Amino acid sequence: MDGLLPQLEIGIEELKKWRNEESLHFLFPQFLNSSFSQFFLEIGFGGGEHLAHQAALHPDTGLIGCEPYINGIGDLLKKIEAQSLANIRIFPHDARLLIEQLPDACLDKVFILYPDPWPKARHHKRRLISTAFLSALARVMKQGAALQLATDDAGYCAWMLEHLLAHPDFTWTAQQSTDWLNPPPDWIPTRYEQKALAGRPSYLHYIRL
Ligand SMILES: C[S@@+](CC[C@H](N)C(=O)[O-])C[C@H]1O[C@@H](n2cnc3c(N)ncnc32)[C@H](O)[C@@H]1O
């Protein structure tokens, strides 16, 4: 945490310079002369299993992980060090603060895997997925960019489907039930998925129109 996090952390102050940038290359200055061909964002990476997996699978991609949970950040740092991953930056705060400051149309893929379900009706307003949040996300996603969601909470699954169906900027790619019952081909089970499966997971894949 003392050695690696300061090198990888995206600070709140740094955020304020971003809105005028045209791509996210500036976030990975060590690669400015090379060719990061795409940029991914994972919101709420938990212990970082999936983020580290994607970083290793896509060395040509710059990844930003958002997670305020300090133990999870520590777990991700261990993976980054052990696997010598050089394409991850960490925003250790609420992802919504980051999204507000990102340039338009800068992301190729966004992952939101097992967001906190807040199952009680009086807590639904705390759910990350909302119309306002989807609009903010749509602004920073490129045309044709992917939004990969997962949840094992049937109520939150219905909530996601309802909010995304009503949103003009996203379309669901599913053609048949296996498309939401089976994980995508480059999937690795997250810690939440392994530990807490309360119900059957759904994997929802959307495209930014
Ligand atoms: C149920 S856990 C799932 C973690 C991980 N995706 C997994 O599947 O193992 C939800 C995570 O989202 C994080 N989280 C909740 N709200 C967030 C927000 N606004 N921005 C970033 N992360 C958030 C929480 O700290 C928590 O680690």
pLDDT of residue 136: 98
Could you tell me the pTM of the whole model?
A: 0.96
- Give Cα separations from 1 to 43, 106, 121, 133 (angstroms): 20, 28, 37, 30
Nearest CA to ligand 1 atom 4: 46
Where do the domains of the chain lie, and which CATH numbers do they carry? 5-14+38-208 (3.40.50.150)
Could you identify the atom of ligand 1 that is nearest to the CA of residue 193?
A: 8
Average pLDDT, the chain: 92
**Of the ranges 13-22, 64-73, 186-195, the best mean pLDDT one:** 64-73
Q: Given pLDDT bands bounded at 50, 70 and 90, which one contains residue 209?
A: very high
- Catalytic-residue membership of 152: no
Burial class (CB in 10 A: 0-12, 13-18, 19+), 96: middle
Ligand 1 pocket mutation pick from 10, 42, 45 by most atoms within 8 angstroms of CB: 45
Nearest atom of ligand 1 to the alpha carbon of 95: 20
Find the 138 Cα to ligand 1 centroid distance in Å: 20
Beta partners for 204?
A: 149
